[in-house]
Chain A
Amino acid sequence: MHGGATAVTAGWLVAAWNSAAVHRTTILLCTLALWEAISRLGVVDPIFLPPPSTIVLAVTEIFDDPRAVAAFRVTGLELGLSFVIAAVLGLAIGIPLGLNRFLRDAFLPPILFLLSTPKAIFLPIFLILFGIGVDSKIAYGAFSAFFYIVDNVVGGVGLLEAKRRRLARAFGAPLRHYLVDIVIPSALPGIFAGMWHGLRQALAAVLVAELFASDSGVGYMVRIYTNQFRTDKTLALVAVVSLLVIVAGSLFNRLEVRMNRWRAVAHT
């Protein structure tokens, strides 16, 4: 009896030891505990680095602050619009560039040049052009996301095989069907990569623009809270944004798997 129980316990331990999720969770919990300890024991000033428990309380606090709730709404709107603009322009420009070698040779180099330029140096120009309101955030967000989307869409369309082009020609595909039935499905991996990078770039751009000069949005609230030395509330904002990004990422992954079901089929 006794020996059997030990074996069961040992088996359970081995299983736990072999689980990546268990390791990950353990490290995370240890880090949070260490952070809590050094902050509470006064190793670092809790004003500058409040313990995790305080941040959790601050999350509930900021949701009672109507300015913070409004800030999430504004940032969400800016992000949504800037992403949609960048996605539409990115597809409208990326697909022709991907399909046509001449257009690609002519116009892809300047796009790649701007892709590698740090976008932040353009921010003041956007503020001059569009003011410190929502418009400049949307324009700057769309600008930042656009290049990533175009680059990946062009790469995705490049996956189109010559035999599929010939098939479309031989079967007399009209342009609309050529794009919808042949080009876009084969370019989906690139399109998805582009959209995800674009979304992240747009979010980063919108937040940086709000931090730099604005009168609303999450970045603006971060500025307000840090000016008040409310590091707890600032980190609460960071935590909420991070959580939203993680949720968005997993939703995006699900969508990609769903849209690429035929690819998954190939491997089963």
Chain B
Amino acid sequence: MSQAVIVDKLSVHYTIEQQPEPIVALDEIDLSVKKGELVTIIGPSGCGKSTLLHTIGGLISPTSGSIHIDGTPLLGPDPKRATFVFQEYTLLPWKNLVENVALGLKFAGIDRASRTARAMEQLKLMRLEQYAHMHPDQVSGGMQQRVAVARALAMEPQLILMDEPFGALDEQTRMMIGAEISRIFTLENRSALFVTHSLDEAVFLADRVILLTTRPGRIKEEIIVDEPRPRTRKFLETRRFVDIRSHLFASLDVPAGDREGADT
């Protein structure tokens, strides 16, 4: 399998006022995602997992290191190569769902008829076509985030970058959408980097889980989840799932007081 993205010695340093030493958010991160692979990134809050994702997508300029997508360096946002699904609800409330899905295509200069057709295809894939002409405020948060995934898929990018997209949803909805994502990404052979703070989500979705440490953000461990995709909820009850999950939980090394929140 060829590589969709290669990240080489990526570092991001911040300077803030009244503090002479720069903060090392990410320290020489090496990672790659193969074509069709779904890699989840997990780590304690503040470990820089969102920063990593935003940097790989070109929204933050790295202090050093490089990002290559499909063999060419990425120097800034390029939605045809790497497309985001953000954590907050970012659908435009003044556009209906199909217009929202077509947004990136519109920005790319694709005419109305073809972008609407492509957006409708994506909505169908998400089984949301009957809501195409509704506005975001008329549908649930879970549906809004599925539309945001459709908006990213419509760009047919080399890599999809998902920044805790279902973090605001309840566990039930989140697992349901997770199964949906697993189905579609497998069907469409999509490559994705998926940041999450939920252990269940990380293991359930991933071909590979990357565990980050806190400041400086470094890769602590990589775990292969050797289970065929698409996965159904039955996988959650298997021995293998439970073993990987508890291994990750131990590796996270969360201070005792925070353990409650670590896997929700």
Contacts and interface: CB of A to CB of B under 8 A. Distances in A.
Contact of A174 (B80, B93, B107): B107
B90 interface: yes
Given A163-B90, A265-B137, A172 B57 contact: no
A172 B77 contact: yes
Contact of B59 (A170, A174, A182): A170
Contacts of A265: 135, 137-138
Nearest to B84: A170
A265 B94 CA distance: 10
Contact of B135 (A167, A171, A173, A262): A262
Interface residues of B, number: 25
A262 B93 contact: yes
Contact of B107 (A171, A262, A266): A171
Of the listed residues A169, A174, A185, A186, the one surrounded by the most CB atoms of chain B closer than 10 A to its CB is A169
Interface string B129-140: 000000101100
A166 B138 contact: no
A177 interface: yes
Given A171-B104, A172-B107, A163 B84 contact: no
B79 interface: yes
A40 interface: no
B94 A164 contact: no
A181 interface: yes
Given A163-B86, A181-B103, A170 B137 contact: no
Say what secondary structure dominates the interface of chain B: loop
Interface string A90-103: 00000000000000
Contact of A169 (B77, B93, B137): B77
B56 to A, nearest CB: 12
A170 B60 CA distance: 11
Contacts of A266: 93, 135, 137
A262 B94 contact: yes
Interface in A242-268: 262-263, 265-266
Contacts of A172: 77-80, 104, 107-108
A78 B90 CA distance: 43
Contacts of A182: 92
Nearest to A167: B90
B137 A173 contact: no
Interface string A162-192: 0110110111111001000110011000000
Interface string B65-104: 0000000000001111001101010101111000000011
B13 interface: no
Given A177-B106, A177-B107, A167 B86 contact: yes
Contacts of B109: 174
Contacts of B79: 170-172
Contacts of B84: 170-171
B57 A170 contact: yes
Given A171-B104, A177-B106, A166 B94 contact: no
Most buried by B among A167, A171, A266: A171
Nearest to A166: B59
Interface string A27-70: 00000000000000000000000000000000000000000000
B161 to A, nearest CB: 9
A164 to B, nearest CB: 7
10 contacts: A163-B86, A167-B86, A171-B79, A171-B84, A171-B107, A174-B109, A181-B92, A185-B92, A262-B95, A265-B138
Given A169-B59, A171-B155, A172-B104, 8 more contacts: A164-B92, A167-B86, A171-B84, A172-B79, A177-B106, A262-B95, A262-B135, A263-B93
Interface of A: 163-164, 166-167, 169-174, 177, 181-182, 185-186, 262-263, 265-266
